[in-house]
Every structure is written in structure tokens, then in C-alpha cells.
Copies of this chain bind each other. A is one copy, B any other.
Amino acid sequence: MEPSKDLRVKRTYKLLSESLLELMKKMPFEKITITDICNNAMVHRTTFYTHFTDKYDLLKYSLSELEKPFDTGAVKEESFEGYKEFYMDAAQKTLCYIDSHIEIFKVFLKKNQEDSLVTMIQNALTEKLTQKLLKCQETGIKLPVPVPVLANIYAGGCLNVLIWWIEQDRPCSLDQLLEYLDILIQPLSIPDSPRQHSPAISS
């Protein structure tokens, strides 16, 4: 996974990695071939194979480089008593890091719209929630944050818990899980603004 100290190797890793990124700005990863990457990097294809087994291997390396700061120093685990403070600190560090490397993250974080079921379901859920939230707003209910932010928090959180639940082979019953979601959702809204119940403005 790690390039040796040899300058040539480091150079090769860098060239291939940057080449991949460059190509990913132009076309989807699936369409990119090893030949493409090598030509673009001006590195011989046999050299590619001395370091990586396939393009996924290279991708993995490139991503691990980007992800490093999240694993190491970027987030200090000590010196917070509550987990909310800890969470906000982590969120801030994450945000800042991504913000300062935005072009790269734009490429790598882009959802593939149509070839990920998670994304598709999340999109559907987010869309419906957005509609509903907009309607609620029309009826005079005040939301603490913009609609898309709320919709994405809800949908993302829910889906992620869901995936955890599936990957753990359903460690609790379905009803139990729903109860958890219900508990978490209750307080997560309109913390202090009054709920003005005015009649709906049609649809």
C-alpha cells in the first residue's frame, strides 16, 4: 500500500494517482482503462503492474491518501467531555479539510446517481421529505435550518442506520429499530420556535 523510499517509486505512485484523478474529472471511473491511466501519466503499463494489481487497487491507494487525515491527527479524540462537543469538533475539522481540497473531493464524493441502490433510495427519500417539509413551511411551521439540510440529515441518518442494521445481520427487531428512530427523531426539530398551526394552503 505504501510506496518505498525510492524516489522513482514515489514518483510513479504520484503520477499514476494524479493521472487517475485527472481522468475522473472527465469520465466515470468505470470507463477508464489501465491503458488510459498509463498513457495519461506517461508511465509504462508494465510499471503499473509492478505496483498495482488493477485500477481498483490504484483507486484504493488514492483514496487512502485522501482519507489519511481522518484517521490520524485531524480529529483529536481527547479533551472533550461531551460527545456533542466532540462531534462538532470532528465535523468542523472534516469540513475544513474537505473545503480546502474541494476539487478533489468533488470528484470522489460525487454520487453515481444511478448505479448505487443506497443513493437511489436516499434520493427518493430525500425528495419526498423535501416536498413534505416545503408543504409544512407553507402552512407556517418554522424550521430551524433550511429544508434541504434537514431533509439530508434525516434521510442520510436513517439510511445509514439501516445499512448498519443490515450489515450486522439485523441485531435487533424491526420494531425495535423503528422505536430507536422515533426516539431520535422526536427532539430533532423546531427546538424553540413556536408551531403556528394555520390551515393548509392547498397543494
Chain A contacts with B in 105-157, Cβ cutoff 8 A: 105-106, 108-111, 114-118, 120-122, 124-125, 128-129, 131-133, 136, 139, 144-146, 148-150, 152-157
A49 at the A/B interface (Cβ < 8 Å)? no
A66 at the A/B interface (Cβ < 8 Å)? yes
Q: A117-B109, A125-B90 are in contact. Are A148 and B132 (CB under 8 A)?
A: no
Q: A156-B159, A184-B144, A184-B188 are in contact. Are A133 and B83 (CB under 8 A)?
A: yes
Contact at B98–A63, with CB atoms within 8 Å?
no
A86 at the A/B interface (Cβ < 8 Å)? yes
Contact at B161–A117, with CB atoms within 8 Å?
no
User: Which of A2-10, A11-19, A35-43, A163-171 lies at the interface with chain B?
Assistant: A163-171
Contact at B131–A166, with CB atoms within 8 Å?
no
CA distance A154 to B77 in the complex (A): 16
In the complex, the count of this chain's copies comes to: 2
Contact at A115–B164, with CB atoms within 8 Å?
no
A residues with a Cβ closer than 8 A to B are 30, 56, 59-60, 63-64, 66-67, 70-71, 75, 77, 80-84, 86-88, 90-92, 94-96, 98-99, 102, 105-106, 108-111, 114-118, 120-122, 124-125, 128-129, 131-133, 136, 139, 144-146, 148-150, 152-164, 166-168, 170, 172, 174, 177-178, 180-189, 191
